[in-house]
Structure 1
Amino acid sequence: MEAVTPAKRRLFLFGTLAAVAAPAVFTRRAFAEEKGIGEKLKEAVTGKTGKEVTPPEDLMREHGVLDRVLLVYEAGVRKYASNEDFDPALITRSAEIIRDFINNYHEKTEEKHLFPRFRTAGKMVELVDTLERQHEAGRKLTETIIRLAPTSRSSGADRTRLVDTIQSFITMYRPHAAREDTDLFPKLKDLVSAHEYDAMAEDFEKTEHDLFGEDGFEKMAARVAQLEQQMGIHELNQYTPQGR
């Protein structure tokens, strides 16, 4: 009988382990491939990639909607200053987007999900308190804009106060949004677990769908784009310096 050497024993043991492990590796690979096929099929049906938008990304892109409305506001102020006639309903509809999408949704989301977590952690409490006071001030300014815009076509006290209110809104919200984007939102992930972070993203999406339907953000962006077209500021190249 041939003697079983240590080398042969090791070779036999390695072969046995490989045979046992192979089905498991194949199963995992097959599962991954099947999962990948399932995700691709879902993407084909829904048109969505399956890649979740993180809470800060969600909030920042909503700031993009805010900033584009501020550009509409600024265009309106320029037209008022030059006595150029335009439909004041463009200002009203802009303010309604601010009221519905920013004041009553975006800011409520921050007040419910972000601000309490920073306060509980004792982080950036002074900043959070200031941001929340500005939310309250912003809602009052928006109400004033909606009330005064319809009578602003002719010069007078209403137009003067409307322009002052719009300017106050712009002056407050540019640094407000910038401070949130650069100081507050990037720190959120440090305060919550990975599971809580993902759950927040799902909650944001659900609330948006409940309030605005499927693709709520896209619908709001489209509404702003239409206002930009009507105000004559949609063409991005007009902001490019010429001859310099």
Structure 2
Amino acid sequence: MSENYAATVDARVLPIPQKHPTIFRAFDELAVGETMLLVNDHDPKPLYYTFAAERTGEFEWRYLESGPEVWQVSIRRVAAAAGQHAPSEGHSCGGHHEHHEHHAHQHAHAGSPTQILKDEHTLILQALDGLERKLAALEAGAAPDRTYFEKAVKFIRTFADECHHGKEEDLLFKTMVDRGFPLQGGPIAVMLSDHEAGRAYIREMAEASAAVGQDPAAAGKIVRSGRAYIQMLRPHIDKENMILYAMADNLLSPQDQTKLGEAFERFETEKIGADVHEEMMALQAELKVGA
């Protein structure tokens, strides 16, 4: 099927620091209803997460070709920006963010491994906000919405834990330890402990959600486990964003960061599987509404 594209970006020929800035600049120049074509040599799922976090509700993402050597994605602007966006600014791996003024608004973006994880944090926090509103309604006497809480469990287990925490535990943390960062008695040990606590809370919420309609105490159990998870994960994310990721960026060399970014892509493809991120983004869109 042929389509007229307002812009085409072949990311295969761009240096790594220029990839995201070029793609976002092309998208931001689209009028509502216009479409751009992205061509890449690997599945651009991390880029999709960045779009979902930073251009929420503005785009439609459609795969035209899915490898194994070439990926083509149609990215259509479906809504105007809520505010002016600065062009997505890349920086060398392990370096610092450079802020550039654009329409009196400053913002920086990057495609480094830690920035990818931060973008995923944004999506997770949006889902937690919706979950919290749903828990508040349940506490106020609303009937338990079993379907909503089962979807919340699925999103958290698949996106927040298997995908996001998987990249942290299997790749980022191990790389940091290989470069001399302590595994025990430091920030990584705290983060790993939080991950395990979160899994326990979600197991409880999953069991309580499955018991809705059978166990009169199910609603109370959902509220307790859900609130415990949220109260643990929000400060956990703050500590990673503000402390641990900064340590990682200072510790890891540009070569480490490049290899880690490539490992993230392989992880998504080989361990998570094709099209799972699209399903998760659809769930996230439902969950963050919290209604």
Same fold (TM over 0.5): yes
Judged with a 3 Å threshold, the aligned counterparts in structure 2 of structure 1 residues 228 and 105 are, in CA distance, closer, same or farther, namely closer
Output one character per residue of 1:69-104: Cα deviation in whole Å (capped at 9) or x when no partner. Answer: 211221221111111235221011111111111112
1:161 counterpart = 2:221: yes
Structure 2 Cα separation of the partners of residues 103 and 172 of structure 1: 14
Matches within 5 A, 1:140-155: 140-152=200-212
Structure 2 Cα separation of the partners of residues 66 and 202 of structure 1: 23
* Higher relative helix content: 1
SS in 1 for 2:172: helix
Aligned position for 2:130: 72
- C-alpha displacement of 1:110: 0.9
- C-alpha displacement of 1:223: 1.9
Structure 1 Cα separation of the partners of residues 273 and 156 of structure 2: 14
Structure 1 Cα separation of the partners of residues 142 and 38 of structure 2: 48
Aligned position for 2:141: 83
Judged with a 3 Å threshold, the aligned counterparts in structure 2 of structure 1 residues 154 and 70 are, in CA distance, closer, same or farther, namely farther
Aligned counterpart in structure 1 of residue 236 of structure 2, from 176, 180, 186:
176
Letter in 1 for 2:252: V
Output one character per residue of 1:143-176: Cα deviation in whole Å (capped at 9) or x when no partner. Answer: 1111111334688322212211111101100000
Aligned position for 1:208: 268
Name the stretch that deviates more: 176-185 or 199-208: 199-208
What is the aligned-residue identity percentage?
21
SS in 1 for 2:124: helix
Structure 1 Cα separation of the partners of residues 137 and 190 of structure 2: 32
1:122 counterpart = 2:148: no
Which structure has more RCO (C-alpha within 8 Å, separation ≥ 6)? 1
Aligned counterpart in structure 2 of residue 191 of structure 1, from 244, 248, 251:
251
Name the stretch that deviates more: 201-210 or 119-128: 119-128
Uncovered stretches (5+) of structure 2, i.e. residues with no partner: 1-12, 23-35, 40-70, 76-89, 91-109
Letter in 2 for 1:156: P
Aligned position for 2:158: 100
**Contact 2:128–2:288 under 8 Å retained in 1:** no
SS in 1 for 2:119: helix
Letter in 1 for 2:193: R
Uncovered stretches (5+) of structure 1, i.e. residues with no partner: 1-34, 233-244
Output one character per residue of 1:111-147: Cα deviation in whole Å (capped at 9) or x when no partner. Answer: 1222234444236851111110111111111111111
Structure 2 Cα separation of the partners of residues 226 and 148 of structure 1: 20
TM-score calculated relative to the size of structure 2: 0.58
SS in 2 for 1:43: strand
> What's the Cα RMSD here?
3.0
**Contact 1:145–1:165 under 8 Å retained in 2:** yes
Matches within 5 A, 1:215-234: 217=277, 219-229=279-289, 231-232=290-291
**Contact 1:65–1:220 under 8 Å retained in 2:** no
